[in-house]
Structure 1
């Protein structure tokens, strides 16, 4: 049931802000009122309810918001908007009095999205201070990997680095010094098509001449190049095969000469084997702040040149994860507002909250924002007392917010003001129509000893209820990564089913991040086994008396997932065929050995952690790959299977889909393959998807 509708203007104009109405709650919803409402509902079988949450709302009427940025000189605010046309648009949020409006500033024909590490991210940043000129943005154009400079006020785009058959750029960082022509970036050189031979560098780009210098080299991967506040140093993180962004990442800094763009005196700052450092960020106080996994959880540390590293020991948050450690470039999950205030996303059991803390006194406070899931590149400083954030709540969609915080006399930041600037959906729906997630966790019955986590959404519809004495069918959602996680934020892709009478369960199986290092490392050597066992145990838990009362009908369970989640789908159907009535695999992995032969650089050694253990012989490895490749066990699958795959996928090539499809079809199984031209890893062209759904 819609509480308000509005079409997004073609220029990306702002949606009418309804934040107070949507976020305040309804004091009239009492237990008696709920019971009275239940009596008026139409009784209909689960799975046959009607809903206003349509596939058009999912695909055509929604967009992804990310990468908020602020021009340090003018205070003007920008963000990236991935729309159903598959284009990543740059949008400016402008304020006139108390009103905000949004308009696209990137001309037609460009898309601010990078290809580095295939997952991209970090596609744009401010170019730097150009005197009295308006803001300028340096960005990577997706179609040809050119580097362009956008003059925001004139919307003129100037090519800085021309198209190259081999070179890609991302993770741009402008210097703080006025008039400096240099920009830092990560460069990826594909002169060789062999993944292990693709080279990465930290480079400096002269924005007047287009000169590119490789300033830092020798490691396999780099992220987060940045200038210190005084412009005298740069910092970055790096790691080598077979490590990943969450293991074995080290932080360095070096002296920077702005006159000739030279780097010297490289020094290790933090990071050891098996540990990770992420999101280094310079403060105006001269400290380099970063999130470091020295213990079971990523915590805040800082170090000043010439000084020692120090833990910022935030009481009550010792078991929270700070900083994003993923394959996406350019994460921003905290912001240094001033010497007295840092705001940060704290993740506990897969759920996010925004806190503020003083790095000197270490006093901290939950800002109690109505957000439970914040995008990996979603938080940025606006002023000493304000920031911008992109996130969603349990029953409110992702949106772009401005948050003002000021101190009371006792130092508490209770005078906060939340302003909604942009919704991620065209049709703003009444939050009461959405199902509310429940954090489910229970002890595994099979070894090793562990808790299994996930979020459960019961069926929910204001107009329907299920027949007395019946239980709803379940759809299990398995996330990608596989070391990612699913948060509790509103996802229309799941609410679509909840509103029609299905329960959904997003499993954060052993190996998922957001639950500490020990939990994440349970997947090492066990991928395709422990995660799939967790899925099976979850289905049995939700359908048995151990969940009182049973939450689902265990005879009617489907499973869906993309990428590594798609692999989970195939493995679950092979290993536990009696548990599932159907499956949907999106750009998933069917043959892990084939994946090793065909995948890109970032993931070319990923399975070294996930499948193999120290001391394995080549024969052992071959056997493990065969045992855990669904294509070799497709004969076990009895449930109908839908396979969806992009034809241009470079992460999991479409050959993986053909391999599984051909095998099941040859055996007489029920399988359908849907191919998406022009799509890579993950589907971004929502309009076409809506037509093909």
Structure 2
């Protein structure tokens, strides 16, 4: 029998612990002759990344605790392992979080052995974006070295690590930021991507090629594509004389063939995004299949690009988002994939037969599909006529219905980046709320990727304005349509999404409250001058807000930290204490200014958490606190969660 109960009070089979348990997504899928490999998150084990292999006889964990195949280059990390065909057989090289060194392992026997030197200070030398060097006797990677006490005191080199543990060799240092060099099939050239401050890699990045000299050193590099306003995001060798590169000279990330002589051809021109923002070194959006065909990610959907016809055709699949493509001329693709009712899974797809095999174990704690909301794609109009894509997740619970005439509370979810892009896939974090009677709407505000450079650059100089306005426009439209209760709207987000949530509460009166997770709150501190963030993003805000010192007043005027007196409602802040990207000092100052103002608020901090939460106990506590917070603001008591204490 269906029970009549107010929105937000519905009994749900999805506990916060289930959200934590389901946060064990696979990533970094790679296909090799010795099997399909990926990393698997382990929330119950402190959030470590286990290295997993399927050699045709089922998946097994290759590295048990305490090994953690993760690194902190750029603080977001990059590809943490590579498969090598050495003279002694297949080997896997990987980075270990504990000391940030590179280790080599025989996947069939033995223990890992370090092949990079021990740093002089903890995490003082980091490695990422591993690939096999020529002849399988070296690991090539990006090496990041801490050179001082400021978070921006960092040097990067492209290095070769001999697999016998010999001294590292610097191959190149063409730019302040670089991806790993990749050797050409004949071993005569190497190619990589580089960029400089103040650009982020999606603003402008260059495709570099250098000759590999007889002694293994690199000759001078040449730039074949990219530039200050053109961003190369992935490069692979096709032949000794040609490369395949994702770049956007026409405003869209399309696949190009680039000759080492500098010639370039767009293989399938069109207003579609195949590439994406290079937040983590080693991300892949395409894989060659042979005979002029390529598996590509168009808007995160799997598609086939055929250069003979210049077309890009979606692959019919229940999975609506794919990542980490790895392919081959046999037409088999491996990847991570997810759908509206399916969590992230490592998969193998045979394109010739349509046979799809799920390689990783299904996530635990998933509810009956009847409790899963079906996301509805919507497009809203901004005041200036620009389209705002969004996905609406309605309250969904077969056991409950609301009283006649009652409208549900809605949570406006703001993605991070701010270059993120939302896809309609199963998100148990959303289900935790929708199964209790909340609606959720995820907004791709101006600045999101997936819609071309012009849409992405709508946020240039307008961070804290366009993002806030777009999210508020969507919330107001849902309220005007009678979909959402206008008195019970909340905004939530983490990182850049936390910035937008905080800026919303100090500039618009749309929301009753906000959940602000590991946020940016003070723009002046989040610069190379302020030295409160890491090197990778230390000049990011020059594009999002304006260069200093010319626009210093704008930095101060937009920073929520300077306008606590303008808060329009209660706020919940959630912060990891080991966060190097959005450090706790900003949240500490914000809450200190809030104390004694009479504005209800709560501040939860978590030991051992970096940027984003990985530990099961943290994820559980954060979701229970958020639910209790909304209940207190919206005037109901959520069943089954501890009451969050609010300060004033």
Superposition TM-score, scaled by structure 2 size: 0.91
> Quick check: 1:109 aligned with 2:66?
yes
With over 3 angstroms needed to count, the CA separation of the structure-2 counterparts of 1:251 and 1:566, relative to structure 1, is same
- Paired residue for 1:149? 104
- Paired residue for 1:647? 577
Kindly report which structure 2 residues correspond to 1:142-541, keeping only aligned pairs within 5 A, or say none: 142-164=97-119, 165=121, 166-175=124-133, 177=134, 179-257=135-213, 260-284=215-239, 286-306=241-261, 308-314=263-269, 318-347=270-299, 352-375=300-323, 378-381=324-327, 384-406=330-352, 415-423=353-361, 425-445=363-383, 447=384, 449-541=385-477
Shift in Å, 1:357:
2.5
1:436-467 CA-partner distances (Å, limit 9, x unpaired): 1112212212x4x4222211111111222222
Q: For the residues of structure 2 that align with 1:201 and 1:362, how far apart are their CA atoms?
A: 38
- Paired residue for 1:17? none
Give the SS at the match of 1:398: strand
Q: For the residues of structure 2 that align with 1:600 and 1:394, how far apart are their CA atoms?
A: 35
Shift in Å, 1:568:
1.0
**Paired residues of 1:471 and 1:553 also in contact (CA < 8 A):** yes
Shift in Å, 1:61:
4.2
> Quick check: 1:636 aligned with 2:566?
yes
Shift in Å, 1:428:
4.3
Give the SS at the match of 1:142: coil
> Quick check: 1:671 aligned with 2:626?
no
Q: For the residues of structure 2 that align with 1:94 and 1:43, how far apart are their CA atoms?
A: 51
Give the SS at the match of 2:504: helix
**Paired residues of 2:115 and 2:161 also in contact (CA < 8 A):** no
Give the SS at the match of 1:277: coil
With over 3 angstroms needed to count, the CA separation of the structure-2 counterparts of 1:162 and 1:49, relative to structure 1, is same
With over 3 angstroms needed to count, the CA separation of the structure-2 counterparts of 1:490 and 1:423, relative to structure 1, is farther
Deviates more, 1:424-433 or 1:201-210: 424-433
Alignment partner of 1:552 out of 484, 490, 495: 484
Unaligned segments of structure 2, at least 5 residues: 625-648
**Paired residues of 1:64 and 1:424 also in contact (CA < 8 A):** no
**Paired residues of 2:16 and 2:621 also in contact (CA < 8 A):** no
Q: For the residues of structure 2 that align with 1:270 and 1:400, how far apart are their CA atoms?
A: 33
Shift in Å, 1:383:
5.3
Alignment partner of 1:118 out of 72, 75, 85: 75
1:414-448 CA-partner distances (Å, limit 9, x unpaired): x3111112245113443332111112212212x4x
**Paired residues of 1:106 and 1:155 also in contact (CA < 8 A):** no
**Paired residues of 2:140 and 2:180 also in contact (CA < 8 A):** no
- Paired residue for 1:50? 11
With over 3 angstroms needed to count, the CA separation of the structure-2 counterparts of 1:640 and 1:510, relative to structure 1, is same
- Paired residue for 2:505? 573
**Paired residues of 1:248 and 1:275 also in contact (CA < 8 A):** yes
Deviates more, 1:464-473 or 1:525-534: 464-473
Shift in Å, 1:594:
1.6
- Paired residue for 1:621? 551
Shift in Å, 1:656:
0.9
Shift in Å, 1:151:
1.4
Give the SS at the match of 1:602: coil
**Paired residues of 1:394 and 1:490 also in contact (CA < 8 A):** yes
Shift in Å, 1:49:
1.3
Q: For the residues of structure 1 that align with 2:393 and 2:4, how far apart are their CA atoms?
A: 20
Shift in Å, 1:208:
1.9
Q: For the residues of structure 1 that align with 2:219 and 2:185, how far apart are their CA atoms?
A: 18
- Paired residue for 2:525? 594
- Paired residue for 1:29? none
Shift in Å, 1:559:
1.3
- Paired residue for 2:632? none
Give the SS at the match of 1:511: coil
**Paired residues of 1:397 and 1:423 also in contact (CA < 8 A):** no
Shift in Å, 1:92:
0.7
Q: For the residues of structure 1 that align with 2:183 and 2:322, how far apart are their CA atoms?
A: 26
Shift in Å, 1:265:
4.6
Shift in Å, 1:194:
3.4
Shift in Å, 1:286:
4.9
1:648-693 CA-partner distances (Å, limit 9, x unpaired): 1100110011111111113222111111001111111123432564
- Paired residue for 1:92? 53
- Paired residue for 1:6? none
Deviates more, 1:159-168 or 1:551-560: 159-168
Alignment RMSD: 1.9
Shift in Å, 1:472:
1.1
How many residues of Structure 1 are paired with residues of Structure 2 in the alignment?
615
> Quick check: 1:603 aligned with 2:537?
yes
Q: For the residues of structure 2 that align with 1:390 and 1:431, how far apart are their CA atoms?
A: 21
- Paired residue for 2:643? none
1:396-422 CA-partner distances (Å, limit 9, x unpaired): 11111110011xxxxxxxx31111122
Superposition TM-score, scaled by structure 1 size: 0.85
Deviates more, 1:653-662 or 1:191-200: 191-200
Give the SS at the match of 1:297: coil
1:605-644 CA-partner distances (Å, limit 9, x unpaired): 001001116xxx73x5221111111011111224221111
Shift in Å, 1:579:
2.2
Q: For the residues of structure 2 that align with 1:66 and 1:396, how far apart are their CA atoms?
A: 15
With over 3 angstroms needed to count, the CA separation of the structure-2 counterparts of 1:61 and 1:276, relative to structure 1, is closer
Q: For the residues of structure 1 that align with 2:319 and 2:560, how far apart are their CA atoms?
A: 38
With over 3 angstroms needed to count, the CA separation of the structure-2 counterparts of 1:366 and 1:672, relative to structure 1, is same
**Paired residues of 2:251 and 2:453 also in contact (CA < 8 A):** yes
- Paired residue for 1:30? none
